[in-house]
Chain A
Amino acid sequence: MNIPLLTVLGRMSLAFLEATGAVTAFAFHAVRQAVQPPYYRRQIVSQILEIGYYSLPVVGLTAIFTGMVLALQSYTGFARFSAESAIPNVVVVSLTRELGPVLASLMVAGRIGAAIAAEIGTMRVTEQIDALTTLSTDPFKYLVAPRLIAGIVTLPILVLVADIIGILGGFLVGVYKLDFNDTAYLRNSLDFLEFQDVFSGLVKAAVFGFLITLMGCYHGYTSKGGAQGVGMATTNAVVSASILIFTFNYFITEAFFAR
């Protein structure tokens, strides 16, 4: 009875290790190609626009409503202990350390991770990647490296914008719904905010940007079997990027704030 179960567990473990090894090898090769010339500047700029500029509306909406809800929920909890004055501080620290980077990255993973996997996957199954090679162009340099660079550069900027918009959302609810004094709210927000709160969030964003683009590129690049394969690559890119975001979020938080 136990033998089939052990067989299944063994196969799953081997498959997991094989996938981890393949992703790691892909990542090392991609990073090596990204730091060596030639650099495809036009591709990098186009990816920065795609990942950063066009994600602004989605990230902005996510951030403002997160900030608003955070202020509202904090009030209902903190009012029981007459600790309403801590709300601006809770909003600003929660957003800069955790919610800004994690939620913005998850939204970008859904939007960009899927798009990258679909685009590169389609190029793979229609032999466009082979065509690049026959035209003496390294697909890692032309397709993967610009996306990785754009992800690492733009996610921190997006998260900084998300932090500001989220704090604004909290401010709007605090001042216009919960009757905080606007000056006091802003002073409370800024007085307790430390450089490390923002910096840790931006470091997380850079790492998440790398992970999102890496997963999109990896699953797209290795996709097989036509439309079904591309569909599977798209799903896998979003799911694996989301899981990695949560996993790395814990370890980065521990590195910054663990006593």
Chain B
Amino acid sequence: MSAAAKIALRGVTKSFGPKKVLQGIDLDVAPGESMVVIGGSGTGKSVLLKCILGLMTPDRGSISVDGEETVGFNDRSRARVMRKFGMLFQGGALFDSLRVWENVAFGPIQSDGMKAEEAREVAVAKLGAVGLGPEIGELFPSELSGGMQKRVALARAIAREPEIIFFDEPTTGLDPIMADVINDLIVKCVSDLGATAVSITHDMASARKIGHRIGMLYEGRLIWQGPVADIDHSGNAHVDQFIHGRAEGPIRMQVRKL
């Protein structure tokens, strides 16, 4: 393991029945670095993220955060490490029974014991940081557009000023302009916090904008990783096919004939 790595994975495997989703992942993410993992649908990107977060337990391998092994943590230790994390879920995962400001203030109130009034001020400030006015805080998530929901989810992810932020398909389902707005916000928020970021996406425009380094996941393995600037001359046929979105190439989509 690299001594300076904020997050380090060694030989992480995960299977669901006979399906091997992760087959020995080795990955280091340095402090303050923004790592983007790309790959097609069903290649195990979300599973990788959930294993790091502790939402899933890997079958084998080691995952450490700040040099501390997290696989096999009990609930209390897990909760302590979770304090370092923020997460933007693909669908937002906003609590639909709570108002927007309560969603953003959820972590500070429930987990950090902050008073509601103080947490409300934090929520308004974080909503402002993602370009939303305080009046939005009074609405329920179902009253917001997809782009606004993503912004609220981003505000919730940064509300506790985490050291590490995960982004799961941050631009999926958004129009190109709103996707770019979200990308800009991600870059700004990560930079302002000085946080380490791990994103998974298959949107190359997003990967190029928010990442310092890119890794490609294919059939449960990281087949290439390097700086964003190197991706256009990776020398890897799988990467070339993926970033150019070509149907022809070594990656064969499993399409059942009708």
Contacts and interface: CB of A to CB of B under 8 A. Distances in A.
Given A133-B82, A134-B85, A136-B79, A127 B106 contact: no
Interface string B107-128: 1001100000000000000000
A123 B92 CA distance: 12
Interface string B61-86: 00000000000000100010011011
B93 A133 contact: no
Contact of A130 (B93, B96, B156): B93
A103 B107 CA distance: 41
Contact of B107 (A40, A127, A135): A135
Given A128-B95, A130-B50, A130-B55, A135 B110 contact: yes
A60 to B, nearest CB: 27
A84 interface: no
> Most B CB atoms within 10 A — which of A123, A128, A136, A137?
A136
Contacts of B93: 126-128, 130-131
A209 to B, nearest CB: 22
Contacts of A40: 110
Given A126-B93, A128-B95, A134 B87 contact: yes
A99 B252 CA distance: 63
Contacts of B90: 127
B111 A135 contact: yes
Nearest to B95: A128
Contacts of B86: 134
A142 interface: yes
Contacts of A134: 53, 55, 82, 85-87
A136 B55 CA distance: 12
Given A126-B93, A135-B107, 16 more contacts: A123-B95, A128-B94, A128-B95, A128-B96, A130-B50, A130-B89, A133-B55, A134-B85, A134-B86, A135-B82, A135-B110, A135-B160, A136-B82, A136-B107, A138-B75, A138-B79
Contacts, number: 53
Contacts of A126: 91, 93
A117 B86 CA distance: 28
B17 to A, nearest CB: 14
Nearest to B113: A38
Contacts of B110: 40, 135-137, 142
Contacts of B53: 130, 133-134
A127 B89 contact: yes
Contact of A136 (B91, B95, B111): B111
A128 B93 CA distance: 5
Contact of A131 (B50, B79, B87, B160): B87
Interface residues of A, number: 14
Contact of B91 (A127, A137, A142): A127
A130 B168 CA distance: 12
Nearest to B81: A136
A24 to B, nearest CB: 19
A65 B85 CA distance: 55
A131 B75 contact: no
A116 B110 CA distance: 21
9 contacts: A126-B91, A126-B93, A128-B95, A130-B55, A131-B93, A131-B94, A136-B83, A136-B107, A142-B110
Contacts of B91: 126-127
Interface string A118-161: 00000100111011011111100010000000000000000000
Contacts of B89: 127, 130-131
A82 to B, nearest CB: 59
Contacts of B87: 130-131, 134
Contacts of A127: 89-91, 93
Contacts of B50: 130
Contacts of B82: 133-136
With most chain B CB atoms within 10 A of its CB, the pick from A128, A135, A142 is: A135
B39 to A, nearest CB: 19
A131 B111 contact: no
Best-buried of A126, A130, A134 by chain B (most CB within 10 Å): A134
Contacts of B107: 135-137
A131 B85 contact: no
Nearest to B89: A127
A134 to B, nearest CB: 4
Contacts of A133: 53-55, 82
B243 to A, nearest CB: 28
Nearest to A33: B75
A204 B50 CA distance: 41
Nearest to B110: A137
Q: Closest 5 interchain pairs by CB?
A: A136-B111, A131-B93, A127-B93, A134-B87, A135-B107
A48 B138 CA distance: 25
